[in-house]
Amino acid sequence: MLLEVEGLCVNYGHIEAIRDISFDVPEGSVTTLIGANGAGKTTTMKTISGLRKVRAGAVRFEGKDITNAAPYDRVKLGISQSPEGRRCFVGMTVRENLDMGAFVRNDRKSKAYKDDMDRVLALFPRLAERINQSAGTMSGGEQQMLAIGRALMARPRLILLDEPSMGLAPKLIAQIFSIIKEINEQGTTVLLVEQNAAQALKAADNAHILETGEIVRSGRGSELAGDDSVKAAYLGGDV
């Protein structure tokens, strides 16, 4: 198992953001957490990447306990994240942003680095066109692509994608999801957090549904997508 989350509890002050969450991310899979606003999806992501401290529970990566590891150590181990709201470095150019993604690598002059850069630019031709443009001047969709590309530059084993479809037009959402699939096919395990349940379930091997800080359903993506109660609650009944 690549990532194991066991009995995770996280508080914001006295408020319990997530309670006793457990799930696994198998190597090579696309695993998704879906749920409404405030269900605890982003908190779970931040806890896995180390930005949030846990109150109880454990996070293991390749069997190694990383519950209290610093965020930068987790990046070195192979977990990288495209955060909610993109969070591109708006003053830097596209190339500099991608280069920041490779910060933990010490091979900036090597062929492997260049190959990874080429791979990211092949995934997102739009970024290649704007390589010397400031990230802050790009559209939301382009910034999302940049955030994912930047996370890929660390050469992660596991990529965490937090709401990559947020605020994007339907055409762009479809494009982002096809790229997520491509990233997964190239060998990177994906943990995806989404409000767009329909697309996420379609893309995912495994899915977990979060409600007010707890996992209420788990199953295969396709299985949950066909489930009547899930349809009613998350898919607006029209899928």
Partner 1 sequence: MSNKTSKAGGFRARVTGLPKPVKFLGWIVLALLAYALPLLEPPFISTPGVDFGGVLFVVTMYGLVALGLNIVVGYAGLLDLGYVGFYAIGAYTVAILTSFHANWPLLLALPVGMLATLLGGIILGTPTLRVRGDYLAIVTLGFGEIIRLVAVNTEWLGTSKGISNIARPPSLELFEIPHLNWDTGVPLVDFNDSTTFIEFGVLDQIPYYWMGLTVVILVLIADKLIKDSRVGRAWEATREDEDAAELMGVPTFRFKLLAFATGAFVGGLAGGLYASRQSFINPQSFLLLFSILFLAAVVIGGQGNRWGVLVGAVLVAYLPQRFREFDDFRVLVFGLALVALAILRPEGLFPPRRTVRAKQLEQELDELEGAHDGHDGEAAARA
Interface ranges with partner 1 (CB under 8 A): 49-51, 70-72, 75-76, 80-81, 83, 87-92, 96, 99-101, 103-104, 133-134, 136-142, 150-151, 154, 167-172
CB 106 to partner 1: min, Å = 9
Tokens for 141, please give them: 């969709």
Tokens for 91, please give them: 């003053």
Q: Which is nearer to partner 1, 36 or 77 (CB)?
A: 77
CB 46 to partner 1: min, Å = 9
CB 72 to partner 1: min, Å = 4
Residue 73 neighbours by CB under 8 Å, 6+ apart: 50, 66
Tokens for 39, please give them: 């269900």
Q: Which is nearer to partner 1, 5 or 172 (CB)?
A: 172
Q: Which is nearer to partner 1, 92 or 239 (CB)?
A: 92
Q: Which is nearer to partner 1, 87 or 114 (CB)?
A: 87
Q: Which is nearer to partner 1, 71 or 226 (CB)?
A: 71
First to last CA, the chain: 32
The three-class DSSP label of residue 13 is: coil
Identify the bridge partners of residue 82 per DSSP, sorted by sequence position: 161
The three-class DSSP label of residue 7 is: strand
CB 43 to partner 1: min, Å = 14
Q: Which is nearer to partner 1, 26 or 198 (CB)?
A: 198
CB 228 to partner 1: min, Å = 29
How many residues are recorded in the chain?
A: 239
**CA 178/CA 176 separation, integer angstroms:** 6
Other CB atoms within 10 Å distance of the CB of residue 70: 10
8 A C-beta contact, residue 141 and residue 133? no
CB 71 to partner 1: min, Å = 4
